[in-house]
Structure 1
């Protein structure tokens, strides 16, 4: 069984890498760096590991803090690699495309790469220097990780972002970066999922996404980049924008309400009946958009973000229809809490592919 070790496991990219590994059924060991570094624990985590991925870094602070911090982190991991009885066969560094631009940050990342490369050569390991562009994705920290996170946070809270200076960005979704770092995709594939967009263009896209989703509608997610932006934005709207209220029209003939209004892309609708006391789901999605709508009966929809313990519950009924969208990378299920059969409609933005189901078992 493969064993992975990570630095920066609790950071933004660490969350996405751990999610990608969970999809493959691979657990990872976290290695602390900086002041919390424990040399013996680091060696133990690396011993017998098939791959170590160095994610931790310093990209904010004074010039000295950035320079010293990045080299310190790399040196701590390099020392542990050399000391391990059975060092990892592959050493991966989450580098930056800025490592060649001559900046203080870029130079510090280049130095960190050189330090890890020397360690790999000493133990006969493969070294992969993965230069990543601007990353975006679910649960990035606003005003820190990336401009996308800041825009999403502000728009989700009803504020209008301000652009001081426009520039061109090269963007990659964090799940695509994770696939690259864990070896699920090649460098060529990584190049193909990068998108160039201006800061103004990014804000325009996100503003349109926010306005559409504020109406409870699904924006055009036909392109993978637009789907990824939408999923990123959604992570800043949950739980305060859930559930989505649906307009129910009733007369002597019965009742009618819309469950989904999508503005573009593929889609699949399905329907289930669930007997009292039965639970469906207990899985998560990495990229798939999924909506639950109870048509008749009573249910509790439960969600939990991966690698956390807090659980969110929504009690829903067919008498007062609402839609609840499942955030990506959140485990979720639905339980019939009523005395009668539960009728539920499901919608996802893609036709189910059993070879690539993007439905990973995970108990809430």
Structure 2
């Protein structure tokens, strides 16, 4: 299958093309496409002669070319209507009636230069369909957010992500304004579905099924919480789909020298304990380092429970049931050579001993974040 993507170097174009290449390389699957597909990439700096070849051979066209922030208002019509006209004329030249998708905007209903140019492009597509019988798919996209979107161009989300990640100020005129947002991966998923005739069509138009109406102030609040999470270790609530997608977007704007951040290591002669992540409702994650032949623990919990996994070194975890007067000592030998999770049940005093001559590293999960006002930890030797 030969797929032509115009505007291939733009925001949506790059995301779509990258996924098509993943399918082409066998790194992703699609029920219609196989590894023998060809992707024709065309953009503003491409040789016009290439468009002739691509329009002659294409089996599907994604027209993502367009203008959002031109220097002159006349460029709106040239970029959003003019190129679409050239594209359709070239397809007709070769009697190619393959399906054609066009990227429009919800602003096509507005009487401004941008909206008028988008509406003109839509009407051109509908007329082309009536004339040739070709299937056309017109998408009136709302605000799209995600990786690779250019800041300070036409996306408030991209600008906010960039500025907050780079310690730059942002301007919010009205935090109550609601943006209707779609995530770029959801857009790509919809476009790939359209290849098999499974587009989400509503009358004459097609749309992405998942739209997030979010107040501008809420977006900014989330973005600042993402930034602060490096200090608090509280990871975002990724169980919420929008929060997860916005966090992924924010991380893509981090400065190249700021991917890493330090953690507080609680160090003593026995080794160290370092908290990695805190969650709102899924507990906390930590790394414990025990020096050779050191024993840590000798305590028990009422409600707090943990999971231990030794990833380096060797040792033993011992337990004794606090509900038994002469409780037996239970032993579990652990090693980084065999990944095994050991549950630490409530009501059992426990400790972990390093049996080796090197540091033992243990990855730990606890069902609740540590609360110094209610530690639920009681000293008792095993």
Same fold (TM over 0.5): yes
- String of CA shifts for 1:167-193, please: whole Å, max 9, x gaps: 221111111112222326642795541
Deviation of residue 265 (structure 1)?
7.4
Q: Gapped runs of 5+ residues in structure 2? A: 23-27, 30-34, 287-310, 314-360, 366-382
Deviation of residue 64 (structure 1)?
1.4
Which entry has the higher C-alpha Rg, 1 or 2?
A: 2
Deviation of residue 124 (structure 1)?
3.1
Equivalent residue of 1:5, what SS?
strand
Q: Is it true that 1:117 corresponds to 2:116 in the alignment?
A: no
Distance in structure 2 (CA, Å) of the matches to 1:248 and 1:174:
38
Distance in structure 1 (CA, Å) of the matches to 2:179 and 2:249:
17
Distance in structure 2 (CA, Å) of the matches to 1:114 and 1:19:
30
Deviation of residue 132 (structure 1)?
0.5
Matched length: 275
Distance in structure 1 (CA, Å) of the matches to 2:284 and 2:52:
48
Distance in structure 1 (CA, Å) of the matches to 2:252 and 2:99:
33
Q: Is it true that 1:143 corresponds to 2:160 in the alignment?
A: no
**Counterpart residue number, 1:218:** 235
Deviation of residue 260 (structure 1)?
3.1
Deviation of residue 63 (structure 1)?
2.3
**Counterpart residue number, 2:60:** 51
Q: Is it true that 1:261 corresponds to 2:278 in the alignment?
A: yes
Are the aligned partners of 2:144 and 2:155 in contact in 1 as well (CA < 8 Å)?
yes
Deviation of residue 10 (structure 1)?
0.7
- String of CA shifts for 1:220-263, please: whole Å, max 9, x gaps: 11111111100110011153222232333444444432343334
Deviation of residue 72 (structure 1)?
1.4
Q: Is it true that 1:30 corresponds to 2:68 in the alignment?
A: no
Are the aligned partners of 1:51 and 1:88 in contact in 2 as well (CA < 8 Å)?
no
Are the aligned partners of 1:135 and 1:146 in contact in 2 as well (CA < 8 Å)?
yes
- String of CA shifts for 1:191-234, please: whole Å, max 9, x gaps: 54101122222212222222224555421111111111001100
1:157 alignment partner, one of 143, 151, 166: 166
Are the aligned partners of 1:44 and 1:84 in contact in 2 as well (CA < 8 Å)?
no
Are the aligned partners of 1:6 and 1:52 in contact in 2 as well (CA < 8 Å)?
yes
Alignment of 1:307-346 (within 5 A): none
**Counterpart residue number, 1:16:** 15
Deviation of residue 39 (structure 1)?
4.2
Equivalent residue of 2:57, what SS?
coil
Are the aligned partners of 1:4 and 1:28 in contact in 2 as well (CA < 8 Å)?
yes
Deviates more, 1:194-203 or 1:181-190: 181-190
- Structure 1 residues 109 and 266: alpha-carbon distance in aligned structure 2, compared to 1, 3 A threshold: farther
**Counterpart residue number, 1:131:** 140
Q: Gapped runs of 5+ residues in structure 1? A: 270-294, 298-342, 348-364
The Cα RMSD (Å) is: 3.4
Equivalent residue of 2:275, what SS?
coil
TM-score, normalization by structure 2: 0.63
- String of CA shifts for 1:312-357, please: whole Å, max 9, x gaps: xxxxxxxxxxxxxxxxxxxxxxxxxxxxxxx998x9xxxxxxxxxx
Are the aligned partners of 1:46 and 1:88 in contact in 2 as well (CA < 8 Å)?
no
Alignment of 1:277-356 (within 5 A): none
Identify the structure with bigger relative contact order (alpha carbons < 8 Å, sequence gap 6+).
Answer: 1
TM-score, normalization by structure 1: 0.66
- Structure 1 residues 235 and 216: alpha-carbon distance in aligned structure 2, compared to 1, 3 A threshold: farther
Distance in structure 1 (CA, Å) of the matches to 2:144 and 2:214:
13
Distance in structure 1 (CA, Å) of the matches to 2:80 and 2:101:
15
1:187 alignment partner, one of 194, 197, 200: 200
- Structure 1 residues 197 and 38: alpha-carbon distance in aligned structure 2, compared to 1, 3 A threshold: same
Alignment of 1:62-101 (within 5 A): 62-84=72-94, 87=96, 89-101=98-110
**Counterpart residue number, 2:217:** 200
- Structure 1 residues 223 and 179: alpha-carbon distance in aligned structure 2, compared to 1, 3 A threshold: same
Deviates more, 1:165-174 or 1:242-251: 242-251
Deviation of residue 159 (structure 1)?
2.5
